[in-house]
Amino acid sequence: MIARSLAVFSIWLAGLLPVGLAAQEGDPQAPKVVCRMCESRGCFPCTKHGKLLDLELPENGTVFCSVATVCKVCGGSLATDCKTCDNVPVQEQLEQRRKLAQEWLAARKKSLPEVEDRKELVHIKTAHLDLSFSIKPTTVGKTKIDTHPLAHLYATRLEELRTLYMTTFEVPETDLTGRLEVYMFRDAQDHAQVGPRVTGIGTSQSTGVKLMGVECVFSMWQDLRQMPNDEALHRNLVHNVTHLLLSNTKPEQFLGNRKAGWIDEGVAHWFEDKVTGKCTNFCFEEVLMQPGAGFKGGRWRAPVRRMVDAGEDKSFAELSILNTDQLTFTDHALAFAYVDFLLATQGGAKFRDLVKLAKRDQPMREALQTVYGLNPLTIVAPFRQWVKENYSPLEPR
């Protein structure tokens, strides 16, 4: 552990500033500080982080973490100076790291005055995400995980979701430039205070609110009636953050109110299913207020197959012009199935192109013709045939 961490630190410190270890290890003319105690690295991993040190390392995706930053020993540098040698470049870089971490945390707390003093609140910055997290310790698999490492787990999951999204649709980095800003609270009161302010929408009674388009903001609290465990919480995050990613993909635009609700919800459901195996999230109160809110336990392939076999599936011509808040439960399932069909048979790049045309307000009949050579009438037969070949009418065990 120590040897591996030291190697990581030498790489990390060399990249932090254009001097220091970069000069010492890369320039044969630079003065060398030789020390057997620290293997001439000038520092040691901070031992106060214990087994959690790995979570804080840049190689594992963490840029800054509030828990590491308030460490009384290293102050967020993740390393302590070697007292045996006097390696000035490394000392300067550790101090710079501490300064950057302290400035970041101060700014983060200042931006959230409503919850600034919450001791349980963890802030994490990764390459594409700013996360504030206070979910209570949760069992993941068979292991109960405390709030701090759980926050790192969710930061990793969200970065992985972003990568999966970009890979699926072959989206270049230049087309997805917004930083994800996610707030996950254990208490409704914290979300009620922060959510409406950071998104500019929603009410204090909501479970979650989003700001989509150029901005990518999601705030929520874990209502245990809806999200009783890690699986349900993770699925909720996948669904809602997929909406952020879809809306932020250039041209930045929310599709749910532009007669493309089947894309807006179908894509979010597709990633729910891809990552967690179920679809249980719906974004509008009009749907959630219906008795027994939900559809077939979140496993939709079998009921879609039975709808198709019975000829009861809504025509695509009708489905494809609805806004998200007009979709029924069966519409959500069909939207998922149409996305599944197009991705499986035509690939993600074509679907990405369809989304771009829809965001530019091209009528769906024209967009389908341009990208797939289909129209709202001719897409139905191949869709139904594909469903019959790929979806079993039997419920999964």
Give the sign of the dihedral formed by CA 305, CA 310, CA 311, CA 312.
Answer: negative
Q: Is 1 exposed, middle or buried (0-12, 13-18, 19+ CB in 10 A)?
A: exposed
Rounded to whole angstroms, the Cα distance separating 356 from 19 reads 44
What is the residue range of 119's domain?
111-253
Q: Do residues 246 and 327 share a domain?
A: no
Cross-strand partners of 138 = 145
pLDDT digits (tens, 9 = 90+) for 101-149: 999 999 999 999 999 899 999 999 999 999 999 999 999 999 999 999 9
Q: What one-character DSSP code corresponds to residue 361?
A: T
* CA-closest candidate to residue 4, choices 63, 45, 56: 45
| pLDDT for the residue 63 | 97
**How many structural domains is the chain composed of?**
3
Q: Do residues 172 and 284 share a domain?
A: no
User: Which residues, given as ranges, of the chain have pLDDT below 50?
Assistant: 1-2, 5-6, 13-25, 29-30, 286-292
Q: Do residues 127 and 233 share a domain?
A: yes
Taking the chain, what is the end-to-end CA distance rounded to the nearest angstrom?
A: 43
| pLDDT for the residue 144 | 98
- Boundary of a domain, candidates 203, 222, 253: 253
- Boundary of a domain, candidates 67, 82, 110: 110
The CATH number assigned to the domain holding 188 equals 3.40.30.160
Q: Are strands 217-221 and 180-185 parallel, antiparallel or unpaired?
A: parallel
- Boundary of a domain, candidates 253, 283, 314: 253
Q: Do residues 227 and 265 share a domain?
A: no
* CA-closest candidate to residue 331, choices 266, 257, 396: 266
Rounded to whole angstroms, the Cα distance separating 178 from 159 reads 13
